[in-house]
Structure 1
Amino acid sequence: MSVDDPVVAQIQLGILLRELREGADLTADVARRHIEVSSASMSRIENGKQAIQPETVTVLLDLYGASDADSAEALRLASVPKPRGRRRRSASYRDAAPNWFTRYLVLEAEASEIAVYENEPIPGLFQTADYARAILQAGAPLAGAQEVGKRVDLRMGRQRILTRTDPPPAQVEVILHEATLHRVIGDDTIMAAQLKHLLDVSELPNVTVRVLPFRPRPTPNHDESFIAGARFVLLKLPDRGTMLYLDDFGGATYPEDLKVIQEYAAAYQRLRIVAEDPDASRKLIAKLVKQYR
């Protein structure tokens, strides 16, 4: 995370304060009464949408019994200076590993609608623990079992947005290139369980899974030959419009240029046109489940 990026710093601070509160086994209502703010303000603070003064952060840290290390980090984040002028719409934020994903976690949890195009692994929201563990171990070969286990738990925890009741669950649509179903992660047993889980998740009323087949049907605009190149995510956020998330091996980018966002939204629609409908997609997935068993 860039030390001088106020947007990312504010989101990081919200995540940290929420973790410290939950670690102290305190409710958000107790915390917000302690610093005399509304429930809505407390929610915005923990979701990185509202700034909080360092003095107020100190009050919360005392309430939570935070360690010296956590207190220092929280106060550092709270002290990142805010820009005086309006941020240019052409800006992009580049978050350096290992903290680059924390901003996305907040945005994903806040989103009311999520549209994903994936061309290699099954998306994290739909992964089984074994499938996730195989990917995470390969991505961090020097990490110990405990560290990998924490990352798996985090990934599984993200999936609560699919079945939560307050706020309502996010509406999620994913377009999976057929290659994701053939790309063996772990072994055949893991793949069979993963695709069976994908079928189960696709039955949720707020989830739509579409498979982009190796041989898509022809269209007048030749959408069947359109290549997106890499995965991307469009997140619709209440009161904040649509955000675009792109990632690669080294980090993540959040382009803010409206034209760029519109281009990716149009690309998603082109991919959607040639993807199979949900029923045909489930049939294809079910067929592959049997092949892996």
Structure 2
Amino acid sequence: MATNDPQVVLIQLGIMLRRLRNAADLPASAAANHLDCSIAKISKMENGKQRILPSEVSSLLEIYGADDSQTAEALRLATVPKPRRRGTYRDSVPDWFRRFIVLESEAAELLIYEFEVIAGLLQTKNYARALLEAGNPLASHRDIDQQVEMRMNRKSVLTKDDAPFVDIVLHEAALHRVIGGDDVMREQLEHLRELADLSNVRLHVVPFRPAPTPTKDEAFVAKAAFVLLKLESTGAVVYVEDVVSANYPEEANVIKEYAAAFQRLRNASLSVEESSKLIGKVASQYT
């Protein structure tokens, strides 16, 4: 994902450095010893939470055995300047969400569960605008335009050359919760069916009345929407968003719980074909 947003670039650089360190089979302590710093600093660097000097990047690249192409890209990222003024696109994107944008663009697999609205990656421009205007009633038209543009740009993840496998479970409630009016909803649901035709996208709907399952998955409830991101470089991360921020659990046991929850929700879902029919049926009700 090409960008000059300094915070996003910092996260990209951290992901790249962690990937190179893992490829070199070196522990974080080796990198810390090489830079004569703490392991905590290496962790902050790799998680995009601390700015990294180009000289530090060069030093790490040396022990990681980076090739010319990797070195050039890492140093390019390390030299992106800090913003000189406020009031630009990056200001309309919270820091906690910038990290998600990067992780989403780097993921090899995305498992998405949403129960009240259509997931952001699947939204049309009009649906996204209606949500963003409602969520940010004091925002300027320019800020809303920028946020809509950012959300639409994210959709390129679905069709890029190395597009991730995207497994989506939507609760039927999201199909009926009217956002922006009938025209907006009909357009959004028709768009959903089009996305479901992509070879790397699998879309299931949990109906209001799921069929019984041996393990009672039809009665299982996830109280929050979440995304499980699987990255080749750093393993799996969970993204759980609330009203004002987001959490990124990385503990293996927590990730396993979310993966199990996703599987149970999918077990309670309709098949891909039945889900598409239901989406079409609900779409036809919006006149």
The TM-score bracket by the shorter chain reads 0.7 to 0.9
- 8 Å Cα contact 2:44/2:50 also seen in 1: no
**% identical aligned pairs:** 44
CA distance in 2, matches of 1:159, 1:137: 20
C-alpha change, 1:238 and 1:286, in structure 2 (3 Å) is: same
Deviations 1:242-264 (A, max 9, x none): 11111100101111211111011
Distance in 2, matches of 1:67 and 1:100, equals 18
After TM superposition, the structure 1 = structure 2 runs for residues 61-140 of structure 1, keeping only pairs within 5 Å, are 61=81, 68-69=84-85, 98-140=94-136
**1: CA distance, partners of 2:228 / 2:125:** 25
Partner of 2:230: 236
- Measured after TM superposition, the shift of residue 10 of structure 1 is 2.3
CA distance, structure 1, for counterparts of residue 191 and residue 168 of structure 2: 15
Structure-1-length-normalised TM-score: 0.72
1:83 matched to which residue of 2? none
Distance 1:147 1:218, change over 3 A: same
For the aligned residues, what is the CA RMSD?
2.6
Describe the SS at the equivalent of 1:214: coil
Q: What do residues 197-247 of structure 1 show as CA deviations (whole Å, max 9, x unaligned)?
A: 001111000011100000001011111111111101100101311111111
* Partner Cα distance (1:289, 1:268) in 2: 25
CA deviation map 1:51-100 (0-9, x unaligned): x4xxxx3xx54xxxx76449xxxxxxxxxxxxxxxxxxxxxxxxxx8321
For residues 134-153 of structure 1, what are the structure 2 equivalents within 5 Å?
A: 134-153=130-149
Unaligned runs of 5+ in 2: 1-6, 8-40, 53-65, 87-92
Distance 1:13 1:226, change over 3 A: same
- Residues 111, 236 of structure 1: 8 Å contact kept: yes
Amino acid of the structure 2 residue aligned with 1:137: E
Structure 1 CA distance for aligned equivalents of residues 163 and 73 of structure 2: 17
Aligned residues of 1:161 and 1:169 also touching (Cα < 8 A): yes
Paired with 2:72 and 2:283, the residues of 1 have a C-alpha distance of 45
Q: Kindly provide the amino acid, as one letter, of the partner of residue 193 in structure 1.
A: E
- Structure 1's 267 and 164: CA in aligned 2 closer, same or farther, altered over 3 A? same
Query: How many matched pairs?
Result: 228
Match 1:10 to one of 15, 35, 48:
48
* Equivalent in 238, 242, 247 of residue 248 of structure 1: 242
Question: Does residue 226 of structure 1 match 2:210?
Answer: no
Task: Give, in angstroms, the shift of residue 12 of structure 1.
Answer: 8.3
Counterpart among 148, 168, 171 of residue 165 in structure 2: 171
For residue 48 of structure 2, give the secondary structure of its aligned residue in structure 1.
helix
TM-aligned CA distance change 1:103 to 1:172, over 3 Å: same
Matched, 1:267 2:239: no
Matched letter for residue 152 of structure 1: V
SS of match in other structure, 1:264: helix
Change beyond 3 A, Cα 1:42–1:138: farther
- Residue of structure 1 equivalent to 2:210: 216
Contact 1:107 1:235 in 2 (8 A): yes
Q: Which residue of 2 aligns with 1:38?
A: 68
Paired residue secondary structure (1:10): coil
User: What are the superposed Cα offsets for residues 23-69 of structure 1, whole Å, 9 maximum, x if unpaired?
Assistant: xxxxxxxxxxxxx973324556788xxxx4xxxx3xx54xxxx7644
Structure 2 residue 159 is matched with structure 1 residue 159: no
